[in-house]
A and B are shown apart, each in its own frame.
Chain A
Amino acid sequence: MITRRAFLLVGVATAAQAQLPPNIQQIRKQAFDEAIGKVVGNAPVQEGRVRLDVPPLIDNGNAVPLAVEVDSPMTEADHVKAIHIFTERNPQPNVLTAHLGPRAGRARVATRARIADTGTVVAIAQMSDGSFWSHSVKVIVTLSACLEEGLI
Chain B
Amino acid sequence: MARVVVNVPAEAKRGEVIEIRTLAGHPMETGFRRTQLGELIPRDIIRTLVCSYNGVEIFRADLHPAIAANPLITFTTVAVESGTLEFRWTGDNNYSAAHSAPIKVV
Contact = CB atoms under 8 A, between A and B. Distances in A.
Main secondary structure, interface of A, reads: mixed
A95 B61 contact: no
B74 A109 contact: yes
Contact of A99 (B61, B64, B65): B61
A111 B67 CA distance: 8
Main secondary structure, interface of B, reads: strand
Contacts of A92: 30, 32, 64-66
A101 B58 CA distance: 7
Interface in A59-112: 62-64, 67, 87, 90-92, 94-101, 103-106, 108-112
A106 B74 contact: no
A90 B32 CA distance: 10
Contact of B75 (A94, A104, A113): A104
Given A92-B65, A109-B73, A111-B73, A104 B78 contact: yes
Interface residues of A, number: 34
A100 B17 contact: no
Given A103-B53, A110-B72, A14 B38 contact: yes
Interface of B: 17-18, 30, 32, 34, 36-38, 53, 56, 58-69, 71-78, 80
Interface of A: 10, 13-14, 17-18, 62-64, 67, 87, 90-92, 94-101, 103-106, 108-115, 149
Q: Which 9 A-B pairs have the closest CB atoms?
A: A105-B17, A14-B38, A110-B74, A105-B78, A112-B68, A63-B68, A99-B60, A94-B64, A95-B66
